Amino acid sequence: MAERKLSTFERLRKGQMPRNRRERREIERRLNAPDPGLEIVYPDAAGIDVGQNSHHVCVPPGGDPRPVREFGCWTQALEEMAQWLRSGRIRTVVMQSTGVYWMGVYDVLQPHGLEVHLVDARATKNVPGRKSDVQECQWRMKLDTYGLLRQCFLPAPAVHAVRTVWRLREQHLRDAARCIQHMQKALTEMNVQLHVALSDISGVSGQAIIRAILAGQRDPKTLAALRDPRCQASEEEFVASLQGNWKPDVRFELQPAVDAYDFYHQQLARCDQQLRIYLKLMPDGTAKFHSLSASPVEPLTREAKQKKRRGQKALMPSPKTEAEPEFDLEQELVRILGVNPMSSIDGIGVVTVMTVISEVGADLSPWETGKRWVSWRNLAPKRDVSGGKVIRHVRPKHNNRIANAFRLGAQSLQHKDSYLGARFRYLVAKLGKPKAIKAMARYLACLYYRLITKGQAFVDQGAAVFEQKRRQRELASLERRAQNIGYKVVAA
């Protein structure tokens, strides 16, 4: 009978070491080679290879007869890991940001006074030789000893709480949008062409008609009477669109979609309540730029709010009324930042600013310049240069929430009669839509950085000023080209 495989908990209780000891001895011999000649930055460093069921920890050789140990992922084992590191006089610990498994280790090691360095896996992926858990922790410890790893940015605990709730709210919005698609599918199967008369069935009119259908109403005229008076479609068009087949099985399919849509709305309300509590705990930044002559925290007027919200429709997959919380989110953001980007920069709305604050907070001092800020957000062009020549353009694909928020804000400038709108249309004509969106997103990110760090509010001079500057640049370029070939530009 085959021997039963021990679980991670049972194996660690019995004190069994990982297999492949020959490989472990070889790697240990290689890592204990003579000094490579690099400056030691963290002499008391340890390396951790984070896993789902267990973690491998390596300390410098000489201080412990077993420099590599394996600990479980449960809290008691993590406490034992912290005590073992403290007994070995370890001060810094380095580990990769592996999924969400590193969070439990980080939360346990931090209260014990250990300095935890969280690094990106891309920094240590090029490990020579065969990879294993033992190799990873030893190699990571050696790289961190010589200061060759770049630490990841970690927001403050208050920002982390806001980020958790805001990301959960975005997930509920996406789920609610899928419920709307499910309703649309069911109506189409019954040949109820409500989308022909209404552009958005998630509005007041659409939801009233759908719930009346579920209640048993079949008369098209009665259903058409439930529409809002502001609907552009006529009553005859509504009556023609609401004549369906009324299949019982499809009506049964429509009911769970409506119930799920109501459930996600309840979850959105709970997220709004919790988000308001967490935002109240964030520090006040209204006195940050008190020495400026012009106050940058003036609230938006009603007309300005409506203008800004027109550009916020594309920022979230759900309707405008769902994208923003029920409470006055703009007032809270102005209190936290000390400035009002929503009124200063066209294309940046409440959702964009809230996304940035939920990811990094209101303090942008970890990035010394605006160039480093946009580069960290993957909005700057990345090129491989050799011998002064650009070999290739690197286009890394990352799921960057802040960059996506600025990209969506750039797209909202397509039809804006402003300086930024004229700039975006010029970039679209010159570079094409995809490159223009990224270039304009970078420009918006730089404007946001200057406003938050230095209080330099952007003054929109209008589309006419941009067109005038563009004509002057084109004329100067034509004059230079004509002069190079011995001609002169004369006005017609």
pLDDT at 291: 44
Contact (Cβ atoms closer than 8 angstroms) between residue 189 and residue 247: yes
**One-character DSSP codes across 318-331:** S-HHHHS-SS-HHH
Comparing 178 with 397, the larger pLDDT belongs to 178
In this prediction, residues 256-270 reach a mean pLDDT of: 95
Does the pLDDT of residue 334 top 50, yes or no? Answer: yes
What is the model's pLDDT at position 99? 84
Section 344-371 average pLDDT: 91
Across residues 212-219, what is the average pLDDT?
A: 92
The average pLDDT across 202-207 equals: 90
Between 385 and 374, whose confidence is greater? 374
Quick: pLDDT tens for 283-309: 888 766 654 434 444 444 555 555 544
Mean pLDDT is lowest, of 183-187, 390-394, 437-441, for: 390-394
18-77 pLDDT, tens digit per residue, is: 545 565 555 455 555 656 556 788 888 999 989 888 899 998 887 778 888 899 999 999
Residue 4 above 80 pLDDT? no
Classified as helix, coil or strand, 82 is helix
d(CA 488, CA 63): 80
Q: Which residues is 92 bridged to in the sheet?
A: 45, 115
Return the number of other C-beta atoms located less than 10 Å from residue 449's C-beta.
20
Write the burial class of residue 64 (CB in 10 Å: 0-12 exposed, 13-18 middle, 19+ buried): middle
Compute the distance between CA of residue 208 and CA of residue 253 in angstroms, rounded to an integer: 18
pLDDT in tens, 465-482: 888 888 888 888 888 988
Element (H, E) at 70: strand 68-72
Q: What percent of the chain has pLDDT over 70?
A: 84
Q: How far apart are CA 6 and CA 15, in angstroms?
A: 12
Rounded to an integer, the average pLDDT of 341-358 is: 91
Residue 399: per-residue pLDDT: 76
pLDDT of residue 393: 77
127-166 pLDDT, tens digit each: 454 456 667 787 788 888 877 788 888 888 889 999 999 9
397 or 427: which carries more pLDDT confidence? Answer: 427
384 compared with 367, residue with greater pLDDT: 367
Q: Are 272 and 327 in contact (CB under 8 A)?
A: yes
User: CA–CA separation, 5 vs 469, rounded Å?
Assistant: 74
Q: How many CB atoms lie within 10 A of CB 477?
A: 10
| Domain parsing of the chain, residue ranges | 12-145, 346-460, 467-492
Helix 463-484 and helix 419-431: axis angle, to 10°? 40
- Grade residue 82 by pLDDT with cuts at 50, 70 and 90: very high
Extract long-range pairs of 139-142: CB within 8 Å, 24+ residues apart.
139/31, 139/47, 140/47, 140/48, 140/49, 140/58, 140/94, 140/95, 140/96, 141/45, 141/46, 141/47, 141/58, 141/59, 141/60, 141/94, 142/31, 142/47
Q: Indicate the average pLDDT of the chain.
A: 83
Model confidence at 316: pLDDT above 60: no
Classify domain 12-145 at the CATH topology level. Nucleotidyltransferase; domain 5 (3.30.420)
Model pLDDT for residues 435-455, shown as the tens digit of each residue: 999 999 999 999 999 999 988
pLDDT at 292: 44
CB distance 351 to 299 below 8 Å = no
